[in-house]
Amino acid sequence: MKKTNNTHKCKYIIIGAGIGGLSLALALQRLNQQVLVFEKAPEIKEVGAGVMLTPNATRSLDSLGVLKEIEKDATLPKKTIVRHYQTGKEMSTTDLGDDFTKKYGHPYYDVHRVNIHSSLYNSVKRNDMNCIKVNHELIDFFQSESFVTAKFNNNLVVEGEFLIGCDGIHSLVRKIIKASDNPNYTGNLAWRGLMPVESLPEHQRGPEINIWIGPKKHIVEYTVKSGRFKNYVAISNVKDWHEEGWTVRSSVDQALAEFKDWHQDVRNIISATPQDECYKWGLFDRNPLGSWSENRVTILGDAAHPMLPFMAQGAAMSIEDAIVLSRCFVKYENPRKIFESYENERIDRTAWCQLQSREAGQLFQKISSREDLDSDRAQRGKILYEYDAPRVKV
Ligand SMILES: Cc1cc2nc3c(=O)[nH]c(=O)nc-3n(C[C@H](O)[C@H](O)[C@H](O)COP(=O)(O)OP(=O)(O)OC[C@H]3O[C@@H](n4cnc5c(N)ncnc54)[C@H](O)[C@@H]3O)c2cc1C
């Protein structure tokens, strides 16, 4: 690639200003590194939806110095209740209150995505006003022995020592270095919606997480924004679907029709979704990759390990990746050693998460007993929640 007057230089070229890219930028800044983050969207904004932050995620966000800001508007759900789809009967309850927080050293929070994203964004900007470049879409890159040169859609060329693709589920960086992207439609379509809790009956405004399960369908609902809004994700088996993305509009009536014979509380929530706030998307699945890096380029977050949402771990895994990778960058100089230690620490864990998320989706839809649920949860919880990204050996 030819150098021009339009060529800029920096050590770390981060592609994508989602939760993963911003976490990496902040983690590196906190280790006194300078970064540039390139985002293709014309402005930095997140979709309006909830995210569950398990203790491994809150521990990671705490180490980045943003948890205090996020928790101002978080909900502490206190418990998860699994309910029968027609009777509403409690099939299983898991404590997420004080004992849970004490056990893992960090809380479980339900938050609005915008709160996580804006806390990360504001912290990165406070460290360096000019390091996030919007309206910059990566279109190609080229590697030499000692540099990587990135080219953007506005003809800007940036030369750096490393390029990190945090460019999400349809990652161009992954396509270039791994040349594989064969997602399979899982047969599940998801609807999501968000509404003020005042639009629901009083008994449905509590902070707990409810998981309603029935044949080939389930719905997860919880409050965000300090309990002011209810968020839900409803999953149903639908044979044909071709689009993968979060922002396909749906109608409330269509979502309601899918859950027409479900408990009134479920139908109350779907009915209360504002007409312009009901979205649907097809759930696609990909197999784990065996490696993520090539010379001076690597990937992180959904770009590296897109996963189904059934264990609520996608954002958590991208924040963990960011912390571990930043530590590898400052510990080692040799690119091969940096990425080897990053991959050694992260690939097995995230591959496990991808496969477990796949299984969890199937389990939810054929659950028959309380024992199934309890043993499944206990096993997964320990491996997931105790992970300490700021302290694992790299
Ligand atoms: C319904 C649903 C519920 C979820 N719930 C949870 C949950 O409860 N808990 C949890 O931990 N996770 C959850 N997740 C997963 C989580 O949201 C994602 O895993 C996480 O946001 C991934 O972050 P990311 O930064 O890797 O990717 P993204 O957030 O997709 O960010 C990628 C960024 O890169 C930019 N970009 C793309 N291509 C280019 C390019 N060529 N040049 C420049 N910029 C580019 C994009 O515009 C985008 O801003 C959920 C996901 C879904 C779908």
pLDDT at 370 over 60: no
pLDDT at 199 over 90: yes
Calculate how far, in angstroms, residue 174's C-alpha sits from the geometric centre of ligand 1. Answer: 14
195 lines ligand 1 (CB under 6 A): no
Calculate how far, in angstroms, residue 183's C-alpha sits from the geometric centre of ligand 1. Answer: 16
139 lines ligand 1 (CB under 6 A): no
pLDDT at 5 over 70: no
Hey, whose CA ends up nearest to atom 27 of ligand 1? 168
Terminal alpha carbon distance of the chain: 34
Give 365's pLDDT tier (boundaries 50, 70, 90): low
pLDDT at 280 over 90: no
Read off the pLDDT of residues 68-89 as tens digits, 9 standing for 90 and up.
999 999 999 999 999 999 999 9
Of 175-189, 244-258, 332-346, 362-376, the range with the highest mean pLDDT is 332-346
Residues β-bridged to residue 52: 110
Would you state the pLDDT for residue 4? 59
Work out which ligand 1 atom sits closest to the CA atom of 57. Answer: 11
C-alpha to C-alpha distance for 249 and 192, rounded to whole angstroms: 10
Read off the pLDDT of residues 34-70 as tens digits, 9 standing for 90 and up.
999 999 999 887 777 899 999 999 999 999 999 999 9
Q: What is the mean pLDDT of the chain?
A: 91
C-alpha to C-alpha distance for 53 and 109, rounded to whole angstroms: 5
Would you state the pLDDT for residue 366? 63
Contact 112, 103 (CB under 8 A): no
38 lines ligand 1 (CB under 6 A): yes
Read off the pLDDT of residues 19-33 as tens digits, 9 standing for 90 and up.
999 999 999 999 999
Would you state the pLDDT for residue 130? 96
Q: Which of 149, 139, 168 is nearest to 299 (CA)?
A: 168
282 lines ligand 1 (CB under 6 A): no
Contact 373, 364 (CB under 8 A): no
Calculate how far, in angstroms, residue 47's C-alpha sits from the geometric centre of ligand 1. Answer: 10
pTM tops 0.85, yes or no: yes
Calculate how far, in angstroms, residue 365's C-alpha sits from the geometric centre of ligand 1. Answer: 25
Calculate how far, in angstroms, residue 285's C-alpha sits from the geometric centre of ligand 1. Answer: 15
Calculate how far, in angstroms, residue 121's C-alpha sits from the geometric centre of ligand 1. Answer: 14
Contact 309, 189 (CB under 8 A): no
- Mutation to probe ligand 1, out of 22, 39, 54, 172 (largest number of atoms < 8 A from CB): 39
Measured at the CA of 172, the angle between CA 20 and CA 56, to 5 degrees, comes to 20
